[in-house]
Structure 1
Amino acid sequence: MKVILLNEVKNLGKINQVVEVSDGYAKNYLFPNKLAVSATEDALKVNKKIKADEKEMALEKIKYYQSIKSDLEKLTLEFYLNSKDGKVANAISAKQICAYLHFNFGIELDKHKFVNFKPIKALGTTEVTVKLYSDVLAKFKIKVSEK
């Protein structure tokens, strides 16, 4: 029996995917738990429209994140740290960078989106990479100066 999944089902498929399952599995597990619907002609039409809408939304998100990427890549963020004899006392975290971007530029970032980030403990310029969306990576510079 062909069914359209309404939720992700482990070892079976993802949302809106059309899969072939046994009649018993569909009637006894998927349908009662509202995990799937029968793949009728009308349901397949609706599913096709939903997939088209999702694709359009994904393209819009990519455009949005591309614009944020271009804004970020123009920036050089400036931070100041206390140092003594060339040694820095503390570090700049991803959380601090996110707060700086939010308050100064209105750009919202999640601290978990930083790629291979380690707190910055050195004076000078460092390049940081952020994964904004599936394939959209932005690189920007952080300049750390002595207070």
Structure 2
Amino acid sequence: MKVILLKDVKNYGKKDEIVDVSDGYATNYLIPKKLAIKASQDSVNYLKGKIDKRNVETESQRQETLYLKSQIEKITLNFKLAVKDGKAFGSVSQAQIEEKMLKEYNIKIDKRKFLKHENLNQIGLFYIKTKLDFNIEATINVKIESKE
């Protein structure tokens, strides 16, 4: 019997898949426990519409993430550190970068999304990589200058 899974079922498939199972397993276990419904023409059409709608929403979210990436890569964050005899005192942390992005540009990036970032404690221009949704990476430019 062909059924549409409403939830993930171990050894059979994932949610919204059409699978072929024995009649007894479908009628005695999957359907009564609301893990599956019988695959009729109407339910298959409904499933296809649902999957198409989900794909459109996912693509829309992906495009928004690509737009966010382009906005992030145009930004250069400026920080100032105290410098004495060529040594910088203090550092710039992930939390400070996250806070400045939110305050100045209204872009929220979770500090856990930063890839291999350590506190910055030197003068110069740094490129910080972040991982956004859909495995899209963006680079934040961070410029650290002397307070003098």
Q: Under TM normalisation by the shorter chain, which class is it?
A: 0.7 to 0.9
Cα offset, 1:44, TM superposition: 0.8
Q: How does 1:66-105 map onto structure 2 within 5 Å? A: 66-85=66-85, 86-93=87-94, 95-105=95-105
Structure 1's 9 and 145: CA in aligned 2 closer, same or farther, altered over 3 A? farther
Q: Write out per-residue CA displacement over residues 93-132 of structure 1, whole angstroms, 9 at most, x where no aligned residue.
A: 2x32222111111112222222333333333211111222
2:13 matched to which residue of 1?
13
Q: Which runs of no fewer than 5 residues in structure 1 stay unpaired?
A: none
The number of equivalent residue pairs is 146
Structure 1 distance, partners of 2:79, 2:70, is 21
Q: Which runs of no fewer than 5 residues in structure 2 stay unpaired?
A: none
Cα offset, 1:71, TM superposition: 0.8
Highest Rg: 1 or 2?
Answer: 2
Using the size of structure 2 for normalisation, the TM-score is: 0.80
Cα offset, 1:87, TM superposition: 4.3
Task: Say if 1:3 and 1:19, in contact at 8 Å, map to a contact too.
Answer: yes
SS in 2 for 1:134: helix
Percent of residue pairs bearing the same amino acid type: 35
Q: How does 1:31-42 map onto structure 2 within 5 Å? A: 31-42=31-42
SS in 2 for 1:80: strand
Structure 1's 144 and 3: CA in aligned 2 closer, same or farther, altered over 3 A? farther
Q: Write out per-residue CA displacement over residues 32-80 of structure 1, whole angstroms, 9 at most, x where no aligned residue.
A: 4433322221111011001110111111112111111111111111123
Q: How does 1:1-147 map onto structure 2 within 5 Å? A: 1-85=1-85, 86-93=87-94, 95-147=95-147
Amino acid at match of 2:2: K
Structure 2 distance, partners of 1:24, 1:118, is 58
What RMSD in Å do the two structures reach over aligned CA positions?
Answer: 2.4
Task: Say if 2:79 and 2:142, in contact at 8 Å, map to a contact too.
Answer: yes
Cα offset, 1:136, TM superposition: 2.3
Task: Say if 1:92 and 1:121, in contact at 8 Å, map to a contact too.
Answer: no
